[in-house]
Structure 1
Amino acid sequence: MKKNFLSGFYVFLAGAALLLCCAFPVSAQKTGIRKGKQAPDFSVKMTDGTELMLSSLRGKPVLLHFWATWCPPCVRELPYIAKIAAERQDEITVLAISAGETKETVVEYINSKDGDFSSFVSGCDEDSSISFMYNVTAIPYTLFISADGIITDTQMGAYTPERLKSAVDKAVRTSE
């Protein structure tokens, strides 16, 4: 009897998980977070104390990157993101947003890198409202947004330096 109950319970859990997995794409479609759609506007507080509106970045492509200090793939990828931000600032705007972390946590992390991120500024989505708006279900998560605000590409998971460079090159070419 106990074995039958557990089998039924596991079937229930599997069904519930499948239902949840199927619900996320529907949610993403309702909010338009996909290639070819306008990127939803938002305001984010930055680690340097400023506040930034996504729409204020129109005019050149944007690399919108969600990350967190506790995420190993994010931490491995962040130097590539910071390097692109510094080297290609005339061609593309990099907007990194720490998902669900306080400004203090992010500033402490950036400062602990002995100047490696001296010019790197991140947004802090402390209440995860931006992450929710963009249906961020895992990090790192990167979107490319054209100069006129259209989502041109998305990537769930970390980039290698080569793939990131290629994606940035494509985003810049597409916006010309």
Structure 2
Amino acid sequence: MLKRIVGISIIIALAGGVLYNYVQQKKESEATKNNAYNVTGDTEAEGGMISSVKNPLDVGENAPDFSLNTLDEEKLQLSELQGKKVILNFWATWCPPCREEMPAMQEFYDHFKDEVEVVAINLTKSESKKEDVAAYIEKYDYTYPIPLDEKAEVRSAYKVVAVPTTYFIDEEGKIAKIHPGPMDYQFMKKTVEDM
């Protein structure tokens, strides 16, 4: 009799756990449906990868200089790009919105690389292995510079709290726009034209 009571109690507890998980998944599913990515440039908009934390770097400030090694083992220093507009993007291979925008970044780079530099800083410290970054870039044949932020120093300097986050930097090295969330080709083109 005691075994039967214990058995029934276990079955009821398991059924309750299954029901609880089902309700939680439904809630998360509904929240995800209502959580679209922001590609409008509105930093106050709510969305999947947009943080509610205000970025302490402001438009009009000098972009913090940095020097990082790229996947090609070349040194890239931001200040050496002065005189050219720069799209400075922070990304990671594990980030779906980052992967979503990268083909558009490549298309933009192919069309405008003489006037605008596209620099995609990988948050290497957050990756499982550095080799994953190289494999991902090689698989999709992205050709714009990929500096590796292995110590998260540049991420800290730019106060990046969510990826992707992109800084549009003008020819004088000043921040012209800060964009959290993924971008498309038209957004990049319009933003650069408006700088």
Give the TM-score, by structure 1 length.
0.74
Q: Which runs of 5+ in 2 are unaligned?
A: 1-50
How many Å separate the matches in 2 of 1:92 and 1:44?
A: 19
The residue identity in structure 1 corresponding to 2:93 is: T
Query: Identity across aligned pairs (percent)?
Result: 36
Q: Which runs of 5+ in 1 are unaligned?
A: 1-20, 172-176
Residue of structure 2 in register with 1:77 after alignment: 101
How many Å separate the matches in 2 of 1:35 and 1:68?
A: 24
Query: Deviations 1:41-64 (Å, cap 9, x if unpaired)?
Result: 111110111011110100111110
Residue of structure 2 in register with 1:97 after alignment: 121
Match of 2:67 among 27, 35, 43: 43
The residue identity in structure 1 corresponding to 2:174 is: I
Residue of structure 1 in register with 2:156 after alignment: 132
Residue of structure 2 in register with 1:109 after alignment: 136
Query: Deviations 1:120-149 (Å, cap 9, x if unpaired)?
Result: 331111121111110000010001111111
Q: Structure 1 residue 91: deviation in Å?
A: 1.1
How many Å separate the matches in 2 of 1:162 and 1:61?
A: 16
The residue identity in structure 2 corresponding to 1:111 is: E
Q: Structure 1 residue 86: deviation in Å?
A: 1.9
How many Å separate the matches in 2 of 1:72 and 1:151?
A: 26
For the aligned residues, what is the CA RMSD?
1.8
How many Å separate the matches in 2 of 1:154 and 1:167?
A: 10
Q: Is the aligned partner of 1:62 residue 2:86?
A: yes
Instruction: Please say if residues 119 and 144 of structure 2, whose CA atoms lie closer than 8 Å, have aligned partners that are also in contact.
Output: no
Give the TM-score, by structure 2 length.
0.68
How many Å separate the matches in 2 of 1:80 and 1:103?
A: 24
Q: Structure 1 residue 106: deviation in Å?
A: 1.3
Residue of structure 1 in register with 2:191 after alignment: 167
How many Å separate the matches in 2 of 1:140 and 1:170?
A: 21
Which moved further from structure 2: 93-102 or 135-144? 93-102
